[in-house]
A and B are shown apart, each in its own frame.
Chain A
């Protein structure tokens, strides 16, 4: 069992991240649904698993392949002290460093993403390069569930086991919705576990809002031979009552009342 204090701290951190995302979503239309669904995963990655701070060596790599969830990355950067919280509501506005996808100007963004289906291949390449460098640096790629409709994802999935990349972890934020509605009706992607197993990945299927399960999955990914895929069942818009698990959650602006309800829901 993971350390209870750690789990409790990470759960609090995830709440803070969600509050930051709400501060963006009340100011303007935003991709809040996928930002909120991945908040617990991102809390575990940024405040437990990944070695990303400048003084840490080796540095790990994180690629937000589902780039439209950039607001959760911005939230992490606030908590890392690289972005001021007052910048969040100004996302996308003139002169802001914070855009609608991870950009080269985005503090903490390792890769410019946005077009879906790119970063798993990039992650395979980074994992190969770090192996050649004889570094024990780890690479984590976060993908959306709708994203894996892209064929390029499966080209990358095919290639990672060939190179035995145990330093590579793919996380699928399985929140069941994409821009056009529920995934099952737009273009079904299930069965996910069987697909990734058939592609010779280690697969862990978890509740993506259960912090203990997230931490354990990340810890055990390190111990696996070959690449690991974490299929994280999540709820789109998690944390905002009335928005959770709806198609609207993908891209919307919250009313003040909705934001207040959300912030009250996300109190400590």
Chain B
């Protein structure tokens, strides 16, 4: 399991603290034990008060600091949306929100705990940077990179239930706004983000064994999105399929479709959580399967699409 105190997160924060004046604010997640007096990082537990948490973060940032927020995706993105918009983004403060319990990771805890609208919400905010790392290495690099990005960042970090172990192909230098090409191919382009990059690689390998060569892109930054590679994919491959553990509305698929629609060339099919509440009870993997987001379902969907479906 990957949690706020996983080495990749804590080490990244402490590394940032060596060059920046870093303050961590958290909410009732045990963080007080992680930032001891030896750490140069100050920490404050703000309790279960998301709106207040973000307002305080913006206020601390106003005094010349870089503030890291440790919070839970569904609650911070929805409950504190206006504070993120007004106090962090409009007022241009260096607040970096590390949001965990993303997508369907909370599993049987139910609909209230599923964080499946956050990319869409954060993407609507001017000046917001939205990053969705795919593995633990990328988590570390993304947090480090956020430190030198001006203004607020939303880092959607999975791992509470999803596997975040390092991905073999995903070892290029991390640059905000520049996607990573994981496989070259011309039959179609599969653009994935976050947890679904691992699934995309499995889908690629299964189809490659059948002679189908997919282009696979890890779109770790949703905003600013890598327009150049999306444009190339639309021009060079007949079909783009987007894959994300997020609503099909407004997330990666929405961002890609907006570019392609304006381009007037290419076709986009969005795979993600359908427009419904995932209210059935079951383990994480089962819920993903119910949404067609397991590798076998994605392979089947893509084969149908390639057949002209």
Q: Closest CB-CB distance, A130 to chain B, in whole Å?
A: 6
Residue from A111, A112, A130, A155 in contact with B52 in the complex, judged by beta carbons closer than 8 Å: A155
Contact check, A128 vs B55: say whether CB atoms are below 8 A apart: no
Contact check, A152 vs B44: say whether CB atoms are below 8 A apart: no
Given A121-B52, A121-B83, A159-B49, A129 and B90 touching (CB < 8 A)? no
Contact check, B63 vs A155: say whether CB atoms are below 8 A apart: no
Given A126-B62, A159-B47, A115 and B82 touching (CB < 8 A)? yes
Which residues of chain A (140-163) have a CB below 8 Å from chain B? 151-152, 155-156, 158-159, 163
Q: Closest CB-CB distance, A5 to chain B, in whole Å?
A: 35
Is A125 part of the binding interface, using a Cβ–Cβ cutoff of 8 Å? yes
CA–CA, A113 and B55, complex, Å: 12
Which residues of chain B (36-81) have a CB below 8 Å from chain A? 42, 44, 46-47, 49, 51-65
Which residues of chain B (118-164) have a CB below 8 Å from chain A? none
Is A193 part of the binding interface, using a Cβ–Cβ cutoff of 8 Å? no
Q: How many residues of B contact A (CB 8 A)?
A: 27
Is A1 part of the binding interface, using a Cβ–Cβ cutoff of 8 Å? no
Is B244 part of the binding interface, using a Cβ–Cβ cutoff of 8 Å? no
CA–CA, A59 and B83, complex, Å: 25
Chain A residues lying within 8 Å of B59, measured Cβ to Cβ, are: 121-129
Instruction: Name the CB-closest residue of A to B83.
Output: A118
Chain A residues lying within 8 Å of B54, measured Cβ to Cβ, are: 121
Contact check, A122 vs B65: say whether CB atoms are below 8 A apart: no
Chain B residues lying within 8 Å of A112, measured Cβ to Cβ, are: 86, 90-91
Q: How many residues of A contact B (CB 8 A)?
A: 30
Contact check, B46 vs A126: say whether CB atoms are below 8 A apart: no
Is A133 part of the binding interface, using a Cβ–Cβ cutoff of 8 Å? yes
Given A112-B90, A118-B87, A163-B44, A129 and B51 touching (CB < 8 A)? no
Residue from B47, B56, B61 in contact with A124 in the complex, judged by beta carbons closer than 8 Å: B56
Contact check, A118 vs B86: say whether CB atoms are below 8 A apart: yes
Contact check, B87 vs A122: say whether CB atoms are below 8 A apart: yes
CA–CA, A121 and B90, complex, Å: 16
Residue from A117, A122, A130, A132 in contact with B56 in the complex, judged by beta carbons closer than 8 Å: A122
Is A104 part of the binding interface, using a Cβ–Cβ cutoff of 8 Å? yes
Contact check, A122 vs B82: say whether CB atoms are below 8 A apart: no
Chain B residues lying within 8 Å of A61, measured Cβ to Cβ, are: 62
Q: Closest CB-CB distance, B105 to chain A, in whole Å?
A: 26
Chain A residues lying within 8 Å of B44, measured Cβ to Cβ, are: 128, 163
Q: Closest CB-CB distance, A170 to chain B, in whole Å?
A: 13
Chain B residues lying within 8 Å of A155, measured Cβ to Cβ, are: 49, 51-52
Given A126-B60, A129-B65, A104 and B90 touching (CB < 8 A)? yes
Chain B residues lying within 8 Å of A125, measured Cβ to Cβ, are: 55-63
CA–CA, A61 and B90, complex, Å: 18
Q: Closest CB-CB distance, B259 to chain A, in whole Å?
A: 30
Chain A residues lying within 8 Å of B83, measured Cβ to Cβ, are: 118, 121, 152
Contact check, B82 vs A121: say whether CB atoms are below 8 A apart: no
Contact check, A115 vs B86: say whether CB atoms are below 8 A apart: yes
Q: Closest CB-CB distance, A117 to chain B, in whole Å?
A: 8
Given A121-B51, A124-B52, A125-B57, A132 and B82 touching (CB < 8 A)? no
Contact check, A132 vs B65: say whether CB atoms are below 8 A apart: yes
Chain B residues lying within 8 Å of A158, measured Cβ to Cβ, are: 47, 49, 52
Is B203 part of the binding interface, using a Cβ–Cβ cutoff of 8 Å? no
Residue from B46, B57, B63 in contact with A132 in the complex, judged by beta carbons closer than 8 Å: B63
Q: Closest CB-CB distance, A113 to chain B, in whole Å?
A: 8
CA–CA, A163 and B46, complex, Å: 10
CA–CA, A124 and B60, complex, Å: 8
- Which residue of A118, A122, A127 has the most chain B CB atoms within 10 A of its CB atom? A122
CA–CA, A51 and B51, complex, Å: 29
Residue from A104, A122, A159, A163 in contact with B58 in the complex, judged by beta carbons closer than 8 Å: A122
Chain A residues lying within 8 Å of B51, measured Cβ to Cβ, are: 117, 121, 151-152, 155
Residue from A104, A121, A133 in contact with B63 in the complex, judged by beta carbons closer than 8 Å: A133
Digitize B12-26: 1 where CB-to-A-CB distance is under 8 Å, 0 elsewhere.
000000000001000
CA–CA, A15 and B237, complex, Å: 71
CA–CA, A155 and B56, complex, Å: 11
Q: Closest CB-CB distance, A114 to chain B, in whole Å?
A: 8
Which residues of chain A (154-194) have a CB below 8 Å from chain B? 155-156, 158-159, 163
23 A–B contacts from the bound complex (CB under 8 Å): A104-B90, A118-B86, A119-B55, A120-B55, A121-B53, A121-B54, A122-B58, A122-B59, A124-B55, A124-B56, A126-B59, A126-B60, A126-B63, A129-B59, A129-B61, A152-B52, A155-B51, A155-B52, A156-B55, A158-B49, A158-B52, A159-B49, A163-B44
Known pairs A112-B86, A129-B63; list 14 more (Cβ under 8 Å): A118-B83, A121-B53, A122-B56, A122-B59, A125-B57, A125-B58, A128-B23, A129-B60, A129-B65, A133-B64, A152-B83, A158-B52, A159-B46, A159-B56
